[in-house]
Structure 1
């Protein structure tokens, strides 16, 4: 019954997991389709500056004519990354974005800018100053239209990607909780924990890269630090996870990559906070290390395929990781070609990939538990008497062979009287019922204090340990009264008769356990003779 309940619980957990996945998929679909509506009567179009001037400090000044735009156009929007922005109308400042992070960073971060305009404005100038030389040649795209419409459009298009990034982080949190709760019970390896770290840093990085995050994030300092820190932390967790999950075991290569990753993180952090070279200026080194880590994993999988070391895990990684690395390369290329959220596909594949990996590991852990449970069941079946539910002769012999201290031990034996007559008169089914009734009575009285065994066809024994102080004469009277009650109130055609005896270990009389049981048998046969004499 207990095992059945456990099986039902496992089935219920599996159903809950499937329900969560389906709910997440439905929410994602609703999020996508409910955010694809366009705002009616909203005009948004790209606008080109009529003149661009390069200033002596490296800034670029963009001039826009507005004479051809009426009241329907309420703003100009554009996106910059690590640029200071100021806008003027007729020499009067109408917009600025120039608050840097001071000690934390010299950059104001990345942001969408919305400069409000009206039909009275003839011309505006936008000055964009790069914080780092490496971003000086960013190609900016300007749009003019309804400020609300442009903002809503950006939010609408980015919301599905934002939601997927949230799901990746949520998945990592679930992995952490699952590992903390089930680590001991399922003897989980650290690969599940490493996957949690890998998913968390990847999800946090991808979340920060979405347009939704850029529009909603008020702390641009965090916005300019988090993605770089996440990129530095992704590599160690990724290497440690796949090494443990696949068993690549290239210790030298792993140590080199992990040591270089830690060293690089320390050096780049020092360079950043000393203002020698901030994270954005050293981003290329983080990206190169990420590609090297991906290449290491691909080579490791290929070597396992060459060695014909096939496994379900390798198949999952061969498909998922190959696609993930391919999209990583594409997204990195897109990062340098276009501003804004360059991770168009990778986060979707990563969510599916991470879910498959987590599902596979949890499934393996559950299979181990199920095998252990079945082994335990077989072990229980091997030492349990199927008819009575008591321990069987094998269990009794195992106890005898185990030895141990006999001091204070009590052996109780019982024997059903007239079983052969019951079988001959009423059949073996009645005989089985007879044995079952005697076993139940014997276990109900003596089983509270020790282990009860069916040692033969109609023979029973209970071994009571020394730490159980019981009145054996009282238990004998209770046992005989229950036999009497069973005969009086029982709905069966035969009369139950049982002889019982016991013996407490005596070092002078009992050289071993079997001698103790033999003395209990002798006591039982005395009781049998007394019962026969009483009947006659």
Structure 2
């Protein structure tokens, strides 16, 4: 019954998982279709500055003429990454994004800038100052239109990618929950936990890179640090998961990559917080390490194919990991080619890949659980008496062997034996069906009294035994009287064609009297036969 409950819980978790994924997909579709309405009929246009000036501090000043734009155009929008921004109209500051993180970072972070304009403005100037030399040559694209309309368009275009990233994080949380609940019951390895960490870090990084996050996240300093932390933490969990999942087992290379990753993360963090070289300036080292990890995994996978170690896991990785690594290379290339959320397909590939991996591992663990449940059922069948439901002779001999191996540690163990009187007479007079009913009734009565304190066995045709562990404070004489009272009540109220008679005897292990478990049973048998003689004498 316990194993069946485990199977039901596992099936319920799987159904809940599928239902949540479907609900999220529906929410994604609803979000997309309910956020596509434009605020007005104004089409957002790309606007070019009529003049660009290079300032002595490394800043660039962009000048825009607004005489050709009427009241329908309420803002100029553009994306900056690690750039300080200030906008002026007629020498008056009308917009700024230049608050840096102090100890945490010298950069204000990344954001979409919306500079409010109106039909009275003739010209505005936008000054953009790079926080680091490495971002000084970023190509900034400017758009003019309705501020709300541009915001809505950016949000709508990015929402599917945002939800895909959210699903990755949600799936990783489900993996953590599943592992916490099932790892002891199913003896799960840490593979599922490593996959959860890997997908969680990649999912958070992916969310942070979406335009939705850029628009909604108010704390740009935190927003600018999250992706670096996640990318650095993703490498060890990525290596540990795939190394275990694929069975690559190249311990030396794995330790080198993970060890180097830890050392690099510490060094880069020290450089960042001492302002020698901040995370954005050293990002290339993290990206190179990601590439090295990806190459290591592909090499390991190819090695498995060459050695012909084909498996379901290898097939999944051959398809999913190849697409993921391809998306990783494309994403890194796009990062340097375009600002903002340039990843168009990588998130979807990663979501599908993680879902495939999680599904395969949970399915595999469920298959193992099912095999264990069936084996347990077979074991129960092999050790259970089909007629009475008590443990059978095989189970008794197994337990007797265990008790015999304990030697001198049997002190306090109690053995109770019982024997049904007149079974042969019942079979000869009323038939074997009545005899079977007789045995079942005696078994039920015996188990109802003694089964509360130990395991009850049917050791022969009409013979029963209960082994009560040491440490139970039981009044055996009271139990014997209770058992006899139940036998008497069964005869009085049962309306059976036969009379129920049972002799019972018990003995508590005593090292002075019993050299082993078998000797204890003999003493209990002797007391049972003594009780049988007393019952016969009482009848006669």
TM bracket, shorter-chain basis: over 0.9
Q: Which residue of 1 aligns with 2:199?
A: 199
Distance apart, 1:146 and its partner CA: 0.8
Residue of structure 2 in register with 1:443 after alignment? 447
1:477 paired residue number: 481
- Establish whether residue 340 from structure 1 lines up as the match of residue 344 from structure 2: no
Residue 453 (structure 1) aligns with: 457
Provide the residue aligned with 1:81 in structure 2.
Answer: 81
The alignment's C-alpha RMSD in Å is 2.4
Give the alignment's TM-score, normalised by structure 1.
Answer: 0.93
Per-residue CA distance 1:216-256 (angstroms, 9 max, x = gap):
22222223222222222221221122112222111222222
Three-state SS of the structure 2 residue aligned to 1:113 is strand
- Tell me: CA distance 1:8–1:424, structure 2 relative to 1, closer, same or farther (3 Å): farther
Partner of 1:14: 14
TM-score by length of 2: 0.92
Change (3 A) 1:349 1:124: same
Give the direction of change, closer, same or farther, for the CA distance of 1:82–1:12 in structure 2 (3 Å limit): closer
Cα distance change of structure 1 residues 9 and 283 upon mapping to structure 2, 3 Å threshold: closer
The aligned counterpart of 1:319 is 319
What's the offset of the Cα at 1:410? Answer: 4.0
Structure 1 residue 451 displacement after superposition:
2.8
Report how far residue 271 of structure 1 moved.
2.6
Within-5 A mapping of 1:35-434: 35-402=35-402, 403=404, 404=406, 405=408, 406-434=410-438
Unpaired runs of 5+ residues, structure 2, are: none
Question: Using the alignment, how far apart are the partners of 1:470 and 1:217 within structure 2?
Answer: 68
What's the secondary structure of 2:207's corresponding residue? Answer: helix
1:186–1:365 Cα contact (<8 Å) kept: yes
SS in 1 for 2:281: helix
**Aligned 8 A contact 1:413 1:502 in 2:** yes
In structure 1, distance between residues paired with 2:202 and 2:440: 63
Tell me the SS of whatever aligns to 1:328: helix
Runs of 4+ in 1 over 6 A off after TM superposition: none
The CA distance in 1 between the partners of 2:158 and 2:83, in whole Å, is: 22
Contact 2:35–2:152 (CA<8 Å) still a contact in 1?
Answer: no
Task: Tell me: CA distance 1:351–1:474, structure 2 relative to 1, closer, same or farther (3 Å).
Answer: same
CA contact (8 A) 1:408 1:505 kept: yes
Distance 1:505 1:62 in 2: 98
- In 2: Cα distance, 1:452 partner to 1:515 partner: 19
Q: Evaluate the alpha carbon distance shift between residue 439 and residue 89 of structure 1 in structure 2; reply closer, same or farther with a 3 A threshold.
A: same
CA distance in 2, matches of 1:502, 1:177: 50
Aligned length: 536
Relative distance call for 1:459 and 1:64 in structure 2 (3 A) is same
Of 488, 492, 515, which residue of structure 1 is paired with 2:492?
A: 488
Assess if the C-alpha contact under 8 Å between 2:7 and 2:370 holds in 1: no
Distance 1:227 1:507, change over 3 A: closer
CA distance in 2, matches of 1:104, 1:444: 71
CA contact (8 A) 2:182 2:188 kept: yes
Separation (CA, whole Å) in 2 of partners of 1:273 and 1:10 = 46
Q: CA deviation at 1:114?
A: 1.3
Confirm or deny: 8 A CA contact 1:43 1:73 kept in the other structure: no
Separation (CA, whole Å) in 1 of partners of 2:522 and 2:70:
112
Change (3 A) 1:257 1:469: closer
1:509 to partner: Cα distance: 5.3
Following TM superposition, by how much is the alpha carbon of 1:326 offset from its aligned partner in structure 2, in angstroms?
0.9
**CA distance in 2 between partners of 1:523 and 1:86 (Å):** 101
- Counterpart position of 1:518: 522
Gaps of 5+ in 1: none
